Amino acid sequence: MTNHWIDIGNSDCILVMGSNAAENHPISMKWVMKAMDNGATLLSVDPRFTRTSAKADFYTALRSGTDIAFLGGMINYIFQNKLYNQEYVAYYTNASFILGKKFGFKDGLFSGYNKKTRSYDKSYWAFEKDKNGVSKRDLSLKNSRCVFQQLKKHFSRYNLDKVSSITGTPKADLVKVYKTYAASGKTGKAATIMYAMGWTQHTVGVQNIRTMAMIQLLLGNMGVAGGGVNALRGESNVQGSTDHCLLWHIWPGYLKTARASNTSLDVYNKKWTPTTNDPLSANWWGNYPKYSVSFLKSMFGENATPFNGFGYDWMPKVDDGKPYSWLNLFDAMYQGEFTGFFAWGQNPACSGANANKNREAFTKLDWMVNVNLFENETGSFWRGPGMDPKKIKTEVFFLPCAASVEKEGSITNSGRWSQWRYKAADPPGDAKPDGDIMVELMDKIRKLYQASGGAFPEPVLNLKWDYTTNGKFDSHKVAKEINGYFLADVTVKGKDFKAGTLVPSFAFLQADGTTSSGNWLYCHSYTEKGNMAARRSTVDKSGIGLYSEWSWCWPVNRRIIYNRASVDRYGKPWDKEHPVISWNGSKWVGDVPDGGWPPMLTADGKLNPKTKYPFIMKPEGHAHVFGPGRADGPFPEHYEPLECPIEKNLMSGQFVNPTIKEFDTAADARATCDPRYPIVASTYRVTEHWQTGVMTRWQDWLLESQPQSFCEMSEQLAKLKGVKNGDGVIVESARGKVEAVAIVTKRFQPFKIAGTTIHQVGLPWCFGWVTPKDGGDSSNLLTPSIGDPNTLIPETKAFMVNVRKA
Partner 1 sequence: MADKSFFIDTTRCTACRGCQVACKQWNKLPATKTFNWGSYQNPADLSFSTFKVVRFREVISGGKLRWYFFPDQCRHCLEPPCKDTAEGFVDGAVVQDDATGAVIYTGKTRMLSSSAFEEVRQSCPYNIPRQDPATGLVAKCTMCFDRISNGMEPACVKACPTGTMNFGNRDDMLAMGNNRVAALKKKGFKKAQLLDADSIRAVFLVVDDPSIYYKFSVAQNDVGISRKLALRKLMKPATGLITGVAKL
Closest of 149, 170, 97 to residue 127, by C-alpha: 97
Rounded to whole angstroms, the Cα distance separating 437 from 407 reads 12
Do residues 724 and 718 make contact, with C-beta atoms less than 8 angstroms apart? yes
Q: Is 59 in the site for partner 1 (CB under 8 A)?
A: yes
Number of Cβ within 10 Å of residue 175's Cβ equals 13
Pick the binder of partner 1 from 744, 761, 786, 792 (CB under 8 A): 744
Pick the binder of partner 1 from 54, 499, 589, 806 (CB under 8 A): 54
Contact segment (CB under 8 A) with partner 1 among 20-28, 109-117, 142-150, 155-163 equals 20-28
Contact segment (CB under 8 A) with partner 1 among 49-57, 129-137, 379-387, 796-804 equals 49-57
229 Cβ neighbours under 8 A, 6+ residues apart: 1, 2, 193, 195, 209, 212, 213, 216, 222
Contact segment (CB under 8 A) with partner 1 among 211-219, 540-548, 601-609, 695-703 equals 695-703
Pick the binder of partner 1 from 542, 706, 779, 780 (CB under 8 A): 706
Spacing of C-alpha 602 from chain mean position: 38
Pick the binder of partner 1 from 429, 746, 755, 773 (CB under 8 A): 746
Residue 54: what residue type?
Answer: A
Distance in Å, CB of 763 to partner 1, minimum: 12
Q: Is 38 in the site for partner 1 (CB under 8 A)?
A: no
629 Cβ neighbours under 8 A, 6+ residues apart: 122
Do residues 509 and 475 make contact, with C-beta atoms less than 8 angstroms apart? no
Contact segment (CB under 8 A) with partner 1 among 171-179, 226-234, 677-685, 722-730 equals 722-730
Distance in Å, CB of 477 to partner 1, minimum: 35
Cβ closer to partner 1: 54 or 405?
A: 54
**Distance of CA 479 to CAs 475, 476, 563, Å?**
6, 5, 27
Q: Is 705 in the site for partner 1 (CB under 8 A)?
A: yes
Cβ closer to partner 1: 37 or 320?
A: 37
Pick the binder of partner 1 from 353, 553, 742, 786 (CB under 8 A): 742
> For 658-759, where are the E strands, in sequence order?
679-684, 710-714, 728-732, 737-745, 751-753, 756-758
Q: Is 43 in the site for partner 1 (CB under 8 A)?
A: no
Pairing state of beta strands 490-492 and 472-473? unpaired
Q: What backbone phi and psi angles, to 5 degrees, belong to 353?
A: -60, 150
Q: What backbone phi and psi angles, to 5 degrees, belong to 7?
A: -65, -20
435 Cβ neighbours under 8 A, 6+ residues apart: 407, 409, 467, 473, 475, 478
Cβ closer to partner 1: 555 or 768?
A: 768
Contact segment (CB under 8 A) with partner 1 among 102-110, 264-272, 657-665, 707-715 equals 707-715
Contact segment (CB under 8 A) with partner 1 among 64-72, 255-263, 355-363, 723-731 equals 723-731
Cβ closer to partner 1: 233 or 670?
A: 233
Contact segment (CB under 8 A) with partner 1 among 127-135, 194-202, 228-236, 744-752 equals 744-752
Pick the binder of partner 1 from 14, 15, 29, 734 (CB under 8 A): 29
DSSP string, 563-584: GGGGB-TTS-BS-SSS-SEEE-
Pick the binder of partner 1 from 389, 493, 538, 701 (CB under 8 A): 701
Distance in Å, CB of 698 to partner 1, minimum: 11
Pairing state of beta strands 737-745 and 710-714? parallel
| Residue list 639-658, contact with partner 1 (CB under 8 A) | none
Pick the binder of partner 1 from 394, 745, 771, 790 (CB under 8 A): 745
Number of Cβ within 10 Å of residue 388's Cβ equals 9
Cβ closer to partner 1: 506 or 710?
A: 710
Closest of 731, 748, 753, 751 to residue 740, by C-alpha: 731
Cβ closer to partner 1: 743 or 792?
A: 743
Do residues 347 and 381 make contact, with C-beta atoms less than 8 angstroms apart? no
Pick the binder of partner 1 from 582, 687, 771, 790 (CB under 8 A): 687
Q: Is 49 in the site for partner 1 (CB under 8 A)?
A: yes
Distance in Å, CB of 660 to partner 1, minimum: 35
**Distance of CA 179 to CAs 13, 56, 74, 172, Å?**
11, 16, 9, 10
Q: For the chain, give percent helix, strand, coil, nearest 5.
A: 30, 20, 50
Q: Is 754 in the site for partner 1 (CB under 8 A)?
A: no
Q: What backbone phi and psi angles, to 5 degrees, belong to 515?
A: -135, 155
Distance in Å, CB of 729 to partner 1, minimum: 11
Closest of 749, 715, 743, 729 to residue 803, by C-alpha: 729
Beta partners for 552? Answer: 418
Distance in Å, CB of 689 to partner 1, minimum: 12
Contact segment (CB under 8 A) with partner 1 among 44-52, 321-329, 353-361, 529-537 equals 44-52
Distance in Å, CB of 594 to partner 1, minimum: 32
Beta partners for 745? Answer: 714
Q: What is the 3-state secondary structure (H, E, C) of 255-316?
A: EECCECCCCCHHHHHHHHCCCCCCCCCCCHHHHHHHHHHHHHHHHHHHHCCHHHHHHHHHCC
Q: How many residues does the chain have?
A: 806
Instruction: Mark residues 763-792: x for contact with partner 1 by CB under 8 A, - for none.
Output: -----------x------------------
Rounded to whole angstroms, the Cα distance separating 656 from 668 reads 17
| Residue list 235-274, contact with partner 1 (CB under 8 A) | none
| Residue list 528-557, contact with partner 1 (CB under 8 A) | none
Size of the site for partner 1 (CB under 8 A): 39
Q: Is 196 in the site for partner 1 (CB under 8 A)?
A: no
Cβ closer to partner 1: 725 or 756?
A: 725
- Residue 555, preceding bond cis, omega within 30 degrees? yes
Do residues 357 and 665 make contact, with C-beta atoms less than 8 angstroms apart? yes
| Residue list 105-134, contact with partner 1 (CB under 8 A) | none
Distance in Å, CB of 42 to partner 1, minimum: 12
**Distance of CA 238 to CAs 173, 241, 252, 793, Å?**
34, 5, 14, 15
Contact segment (CB under 8 A) with partner 1 among 276-284, 338-346, 377-385, 704-712 equals 704-712
| Calculated CA dihedral for residues 202, 206, 212, 217, nearest 10 degrees | 180
Distance in Å, CB of 454 to partner 1, minimum: 51
74 Cβ neighbours under 8 A, 6+ residues apart: 177, 178, 181, 182, 215
Distance in Å, CB of 416 to partner 1, minimum: 21
Distance in Å, CB of 49 to partner 1, minimum: 6
Closest of 770, 771, 706, 769 to residue 741, by C-alpha: 706
Residue 65: what residue type?
Answer: G
Pick the binder of partner 1 from 104, 453, 653, 726 (CB under 8 A): 726
Q: Is 702 in the site for partner 1 (CB under 8 A)?
A: yes
Pick the binder of partner 1 from 280, 461, 741, 758 (CB under 8 A): 741
Contact segment (CB under 8 A) with partner 1 among 30-38, 146-154, 290-298, 622-630 equals 30-38
Contact segment (CB under 8 A) with partner 1 among 83-91, 192-200, 258-266, 724-732 equals 724-732
Cβ closer to partner 1: 49 or 506?
A: 49
Q: Is 688 in the site for partner 1 (CB under 8 A)?
A: yes
Pick the binder of partner 1 from 304, 651, 703, 763 (CB under 8 A): 703
Do residues 799 and 763 make contact, with C-beta atoms less than 8 angstroms apart? no
Where along the sequence are the contacts to partner 1 (CB under 8 A)?
22-23, 26-27, 29-30, 33, 37, 49, 51-55, 59, 687-688, 700-710, 725-727, 741-747, 774
